[in-house]
């Protein structure tokens, strides 16, 4: 053999040794993992299980992760065991509640802990509280509470999990009256990074309580249940839909910017814009006559082409805003799609005319296979803004409205990539020119620069300090988790 052949032979041998070592390390870890999880009572789904691929399909099909195991926990002890295994085997872990993360982060851990079976709801109608398992979806919560005459404030989509939703904020129906979902949390059961079950509230682990309320999504442990303050449902509510021609957009925004924050907090609403239409979607906690009255000036100024006021039961208003029938609201299902979203906040006096135009021009300029909508949720003049920015980790307490801009990627790969790139660069320019610096952590966005500050603002140093105390080994980590420094 020539010296070159020797070198090639030696190189191939070395590669084989390395590959063998890597795969035997993997087998070892798999064996460790399997034996560590042996006492779990729920179902374990490994990559070689026939269900594995289907079990990774949630709301978001654009992003893919390949965890080493999905643990369908049956009990809180299963959650504790899973966290203990992650911690002792030095593996990452993620909790999955409703699977609605915009970057699929609930599947980002090597161990995915699915908590959908932790779905009990116990109502105490004397104390006006409910203990809600963290695996529940919003639809089943609205349904069960409303059967007993109660509600919590939360988002509009019935299939969102309360776990991720409430730990990052939770804005939607009745938000102006009662604030974010997290503003009504009184206490949480948390499995901490060592696998201990602790009770976190304003009297014990107060620093963790602060951190979980806004930065709780897979940063400090897994919440297994929430105790919520609950509110009586009114005898009837009024669902409101006002429709506008897209050419009328400036009038709509003038009315929104000038009148929105002075409307009574019994009304919560959003303005939804797509390429061809504008709709005001709202719910008023009261009668149709009163709803008509409080909106009369808004209607005169904004000039809708049609108006619809529907007085109905509280739960029917939930069905209407969720665009679902009863079954679709209270039972679990996903509507998987490839999508990407951007988040912005705008303070008073609201988006300028140039900002509105820039948004419309962007939406019109996208390929038709990338349908896009923008939803403007009114915060101002309501309970969400009455909480000090440093009282919880949710810092966005002085906003007129939040904007979500969401593009569905329905085209071929090249067109989807083009839409994705266009959305990212528009987002950066739009934020630099027309909106606040901050963004909503529940509309999580992996392509956002300086996301730590944009999501947590002046609360970031406190969150880093709390992370160091409770998760010094960074067991709970994913691409946008609270850093250790």
User: What's CA 413's distance to the chain center, in Å?
Assistant: 26
The reply on whether position 459 binds ligand FAD by CB under 6 A is no
Q: Is 240 helix (H, G, I), strand (E, B) or coil?
A: strand
Residue 299: DSSP 8-state: H
Q: Which two tokens stand for residue 479?
A: 């691409």
Among 268, 442, 459, 477, the residue binding ligand FAD under the rule CB under 6 A is: 442
Residues in the chain, how many? 485
Among 106, 227, 239, 408, the residue binding ligand FAD under the rule CB under 6 A is: 106
Sequence-ordered list of residues with C-beta below 8 angstroms from that of 1, at least 6 positions apart, any chain: 9
Sequence-ordered list of residues with C-beta below 8 angstroms from that of 100, at least 6 positions apart, any chain: 58, 59, 60, 157, 159, 160, 161, 164, 165
Q: Segment contacting ligand FAD (CB under 6 A): 167-175, 245-253, 282-290, 352-360? A: 167-175
Binding mask 37-66 for ligand FAD (x = CB under 6 A): ----------------------x-------
Among 81, 130, 223, 393, the residue binding ligand FAD under the rule CB under 6 A is: 223
Q: Where are the beta strands (DSSP E) in 79-128?
A: 93-96, 111-114, 121-124
The reply on whether position 87 binds ligand FAD by CB under 6 A is no
Q: Is 226 helix (H, G, I), strand (E, B) or coil?
A: strand
Closest to ligand FAD by CB, 258 vs 373, is 373
With tokens 């969150």, the residue in question is: 463
Among 42, 67, 98, 350, the residue binding ligand FAD under the rule CB under 6 A is: 98
279: β partners: 243, 272
Q: Shortest Cβ distance from residue 175 to ligand FAD (Å)?
A: 8
Closest by Cα among 15, 320, 340, 377 to 169: 377
What does the alpha-carbon distance between residue 199 and residue 409 come to, in Å, rounded to a whole number? 42
Closest to ligand FAD by CB, 172 vs 195, is 172
Among 91, 134, 330, 395, the residue binding ligand FAD under the rule CB under 6 A is: 134
At residue 444's C-alpha, the angle toward residues 184 and 178, to 5°, is 20
Closest to ligand FAD by CB, 149 vs 328, is 328
Closest to ligand FAD by CB, 192 vs 266, is 192
The reply on whether position 282 binds ligand FAD by CB under 6 A is no
Q: Segment contacting ligand FAD (CB under 6 A): 30-38, 96-104, 280-288, 418-426? A: 96-104
Q: Shortest Cβ distance from residue 217 to ligand FAD (Å)?
A: 3
Q: Where does this chain bind ligand FAD (CB under 6 A)?
A: 59, 94-102, 105-106, 115, 134, 155-157, 160-161, 163-165, 167-172, 216-218, 222-223, 442
């Amino acid at each position: 053999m020539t010296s070159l052949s020797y070198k090639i032979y030696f190189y191939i041998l070395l590669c084989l040794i390395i590959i063998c070592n890597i795969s035997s390390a993997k087998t070892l870890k798999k064996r460790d993992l399997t034996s560590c999880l042996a006492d779990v009572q729920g179902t374990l789904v490994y990559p070689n299980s026939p269900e594995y691929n289907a079990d990774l399909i949630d709301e978001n099909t654009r992003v893919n992760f390949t965890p080493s195991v999905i643990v369908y926990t049956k009990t809180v002890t299963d959650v504790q065991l899973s966290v203990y295994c992650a911690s002792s085997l030095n593996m990452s872990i993620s909790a999955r509640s409703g699977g609605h993360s915009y970057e699929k982060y609930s599947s980002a851990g090597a161990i995915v802990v699915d908590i959908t079976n932790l779905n009990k709801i116990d109502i105490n109608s004397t104390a006006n509280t409910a203990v809600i398992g963290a695996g529940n979806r919003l639809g089943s919560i609205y349904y069960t509470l409303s059967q007993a005459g109660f509600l919590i404030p939360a988002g509009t989509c019935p299939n969102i999990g309360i776990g991720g939703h409430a730990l990052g904020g939770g804005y939607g129906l009745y938000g102006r009256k009662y604030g974010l979902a997290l503003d009504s949390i009184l206490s949480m059961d948390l499995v901490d990074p060592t696998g201990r079950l602790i009770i976190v509230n304003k009297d014990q682990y107060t620093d963790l309580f602060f951190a979980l309320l806004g930065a709780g999504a897979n940063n400090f442990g897994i919440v297994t249940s929430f105790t919520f303050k609950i509110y009586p449902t009114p005898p009837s509510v009024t669902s409101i839909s006002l429709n506008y021609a897209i050419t009328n957009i400036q009038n709509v925004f003038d009315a929104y910017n000038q009148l929105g924050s002075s409307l009574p907090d019994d009304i919560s609403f959003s303005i939804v814009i797509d390429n061809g239409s504008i709709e005001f979607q709202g719910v008023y906690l009261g009668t149709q006559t009163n709803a008509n009255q409080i909106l009369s000036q808004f209607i005169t100024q904004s000039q809708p082409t049609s108006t619809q006021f529907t007085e109905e039961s509280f739960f029917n208003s939930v069905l209407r805003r969720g665009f679902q029938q009863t079954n679709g609201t209270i039972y679990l299902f996903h509507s998987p799609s490839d999508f990407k979203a951007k988040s912005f906040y705008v303070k008073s006096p609201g988006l300028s005319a140039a900002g509105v135009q820039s948004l419309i021009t962007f939406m019109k300029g996208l390929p038709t296979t990338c349908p896009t909508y923008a939803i403007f949720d009114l915060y101002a003049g309501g309970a969400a803004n009455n909480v000090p920015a440093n009282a919880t980790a949710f810092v966005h307490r002085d906003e007129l409205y939040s904007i979500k801009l969401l593009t569905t990627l329905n085209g071929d790969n090249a067109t989807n990539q083009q839409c994705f790139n266009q959305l990212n660069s528009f987002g950066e320019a739009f934020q630099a020119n027309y909106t606040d610096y901050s963004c909503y952590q529940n509309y999580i966005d992996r392509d956002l620069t300086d996301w730590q500050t944009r999501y947590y603002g002046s609360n970031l140093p406190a969150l880093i300090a709390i992370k160091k105390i409770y998760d010094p080994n960074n067991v709970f980590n994913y691409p946008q988790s609270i850093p250790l420094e």
